[in-house]
Structure 1
């Protein structure tokens, strides 16, 4: 073998993976050409008004996505000389594509604070509620949406008097936008009048009585007027009602919390629960040993037969 051919073989062997990688990158590239564009946003430093830059955006909402229009938009924004880089983010939504042109250097969301709320809720849970991922460019619309989501969460938790005020704090040195969500919880509401809609009046009254029994109190499911209004209490009451109907052999019943009506003058919230009792169903198992222990047979049957779930 001629040794001078060895470097050529080595070079060709090194080019093969690069060629395969290039082909894979090209094949994995997503094309949005022709898809409907639902929204187009410009994100920049909060001190910069983007209204004067909107005429440079050739890709419009309501039109089909065009690579040439997008590239021309990025080029026009760069030619202003005000931005070091223009990043495009495309997110497919049910209504169409959502395009975001981020004009660097932009501010990104940093630290979130929730004074007034962390005494009742964990910091992790509050972060889940506002739902602002890491590396998200700052937009006032995102802050407003997060504040609204936080308020809805507090109301669903029984704090119908809650107030939320947002305060952005810009850290120009680190290019971060920290946001403080000032929360005033107010007093938690109490349970008011409870109604069960769906079954016959006699059955509805029986279910209401079950939710005010000692068993309901022991399980934290009591919906007596004056009890603290909490999602956990309501969920426990719904679960107890389902078990009660199951004990009546109504295995296909559907029960769920419908809505609440808050009365600010009394700080009580009336609760409406929708219950649809299913037909009476009796289940018998023949020819199978579910368990050698009699008291475990019923549990095993409920695990194996879907109608019990």
Structure 2
């Protein structure tokens, strides 16, 4: 015998739990805005449109100026913590800056009569711990600076020595190809020396010695020849003066006659030339003054 079961009721949709937050706003403006947003074809109200434009402008401004308002870095955070807890950064130890021309200034330690024991006792008794540490740091810095200068001098001199060695090596390398040429020059130089010695000996044989009688005679003849040439030029001076005066060059004639007349007067005082010297002087004066020349004797 079969039993027919009664159909069960279909389960309805699950009921949502009631939360404490209201589903709709109590303000009518928000509800109206929500209703307009729900209908896509409805235009936005002016207040909502202005709010949207304001929010977009603010977001663009924030995106443009984001690097300027970035979060503080770790260094800034540490600085803020030090400032909050009043922790001061310790000053760096004293350093001595060195340049190529700088030297550590001389101090009491460099004195010839320096006494290390007395100096240490005076420093310990007259200074505090901070001063002692500061003095210690300064002395250590000066020692390091002096050591650096010493090393710099050593390196500088070493580099100069290397440069000089390279220069000498290059000079020797450049002189090696010239050694064969220099060896070929020795015979040519010897030949030139021999020729010069032969020419000197030949000149000595041809020309007399300056102190010999023959040389003295030749010198006297040369002086006489020169004197004759001067006498001929002096005797020809009156006719030259007439030509200059005729051309209107009286100043030039006067200048030339002054020199020749002085020479003729010196010959006259020495008794050289005889009456020819007097006649030349008279004719020259007459030619310069424009008067008629006297008849030559």
TM-score, length basis structure 2: 0.20
Larger Rg: 2
TM-score, length basis structure 1: 0.19
More helix by share: 2
Question: 1 or 2 for the larger relative contact order (CA 8 Å, sep ≥6)?
Answer: 1
